[in-house]
Amino acid sequence: MQFNINNLIRENVKAMKPYSSARDEYVSDGSKMLFLDANENPFYNGVNRYPDPQQRNLKQVISEQKNISPSQLLLGNGSDEVLDLLFRAFCEPKKDNVLTLPPTYGMYTVLANLNEVEERKTELLPNFQPNVKAILDKATPNSKLLFICSPNNPTGNLISSESIKNLLINFNGLVVIDEAYIDFSNQESWISELDNYPNLIVTQTLSKAYGLAGIRLGLCFASAEIIAVLNKIKPPYNVNELTQQKALERVLDTKSVENEIASILAERTVLIAALKNIAFVETIYLSEANFILAKVDNATKRYNQLLDQGIVIRNRTTQVLCENTLRFTIGTPEENKLLIHALKSL
Ligand SMILES: *Cc1c(COP(=O)(O)O)cnc(C)c1O
């Protein structure tokens, strides 16, 4: 079937005209102008002006690094905003549905509920890979989005390229690959496949490897057609000035980011080795992310014991396929030492 994005866009979104802000209507070419168009306070303090609604400087740098056109990139207030925009652009409440693959990131469920969109779940197989046939069987003509988290949270593994290709080809909606943890993995991003699959959307974030969870910056990569739809409905000033400045500084400082990732990966190896020697740890799952999922004898008991020692980890025991599992985020070398010491003391 020929892919046509117009078959997936909500009717109200198709009919909408985007809000045109003052900063959209007059784009500065750098020449000295008096800006008396946006009802701002004129006294300079660094942030008295509205931010660039299209984040041109930041997008220019990121799109060069990722080898795409700026028209294939949308930035959001965290990737959570980007994911919400996808629901609002493509999913008709109470009519359309989305496909998810638990155990996975909890926000897909929250956003489906918030937007009154049915979530059709297909559990991963016991090896945490997707059951492609079961997923496609669950799809209906109203299935608009399929969320694939790779590396997956909380399990830590990559989803196999073969399964993803199969889903990209055979699912008639949009395939959203959430790559929040891709910078910790050896695998190349799916961004390089954008030109081959018109229904591919890739999301990334500066919250994990880039160390900027506090500024809220999410990235969405897709065809220019899909990005244009999202641009039409995004709040005009969704990425604030401080965030744009801080993000630009950080993405240009590739050395620091690389060094921190290298440290986290080295500490991941240290923690895995230590967990292997802890008697109550039964399984350590392979991780391509900055956390490790491990199955223990009694997750709630071990979780509480660590809390008593002032260490907060994530108890994932209530998630499907994750009974008695704990998720450990990789900290600094010092924090990792304290965690390992505490684990040995239990
Ligand atoms: C942490 C995380 C995100 C990050 O979301 P932000 O809103 O960008 O902080 C997205 N997806 C997954 C799977 C995550 O674990």
- What confidence category does residue 25 fall into, taking pLDDT thresholds of 50, 70 and 90? confident
* Full-model pTM: 0.97
H or E segment and range at residue 125: none
Pocket test for ligand 1, best of 74, 207, 243, 288 (most atoms within 8 A of CB): 207
Rounded CA separation 174/130 (Å): 17
Which residue, judged by its Cα, is nearest atom 12 of ligand 1? Answer: 180
pLDDT for position 127: 98
Tokens of 214: 């506090």
pLDDT for position 28: 77
Which residue, judged by its Cα, is nearest atom 13 of ligand 1? Answer: 105
Distances (CA, A) of 142 to 108, 113, 115, 117: 17, 16, 15, 10
Where does the chain hold its CATH 3.90.1150.10 domain(s)?
A: 255-345
Q: Kindly report the CA angle at 324 between 261 and 186, in degrees rounded to 5?
A: 25
Pocket test for ligand 1, best of 147, 153, 288, 329 (most atoms within 8 A of CB): 153
Whether the predicted pLDDT of 296 surpasses 90 = yes
Pocket test for ligand 1, best of 74, 75, 77, 80 (most atoms within 8 A of CB): 80
Q: Is the C-beta atom of 180 inside 6 A of ligand 1?
A: yes
Q: Give the three-class secondary structure for 81.
A: helix
> 5-252 has which fold?
Aspartate Aminotransferase; domain 2 (3.40.640)
- What confidence category does residue 18 fall into, taking pLDDT thresholds of 50, 70 and 90? confident
H or E segment and range at residue 27: none
Instruction: Quick: pLDDT tens for 309-331.
Output: 999 999 999 999 999 999 999 99
CB neighbourhood size of 150 (10 A):
28
Question: Could you give the percent of the chain with pLDDT greater than 70?
Answer: 100
Where does the chain hold its CATH 3.40.640.10 domain(s)?
A: 5-252
Rounded CA separation 206/251 (Å): 9
pLDDT for position 280: 98
Q: Is the C-beta atom of 156 inside 6 A of ligand 1?
A: no
Q: Give the three-class secondary structure for 117.
A: coil
User: Closest Cα partner for 292 from 175, 165, 177, 184?
Assistant: 184
Whether the predicted pLDDT of 236 surpasses 90 = yes
Rounded CA separation 160/281 (Å): 26
The position carrying tokens 């799809």 is 139
pLDDT for position 1: 59
Distances (CA, A) of 278 to 23, 81, 313: 58, 40, 16
Q: Is the C-beta atom of 150 inside 6 A of ligand 1?
A: no
In CATH, the number for domain 255-345 is: 3.90.1150.10
Instruction: Quick: pLDDT tens for 64-112.
Output: 999 999 999 999 999 999 999 999 999 999 999 999 999 999 999 999 9
Q: Is the C-beta atom of 205 inside 6 A of ligand 1?
A: yes
- What confidence category does residue 286 fall into, taking pLDDT thresholds of 50, 70 and 90? very high
CA 61 from chain center: how many Å?
20
Residues in the chain: 346
Distances (CA, A) of 128 to 32, 177, 184, 195, 266: 57, 16, 18, 28, 24
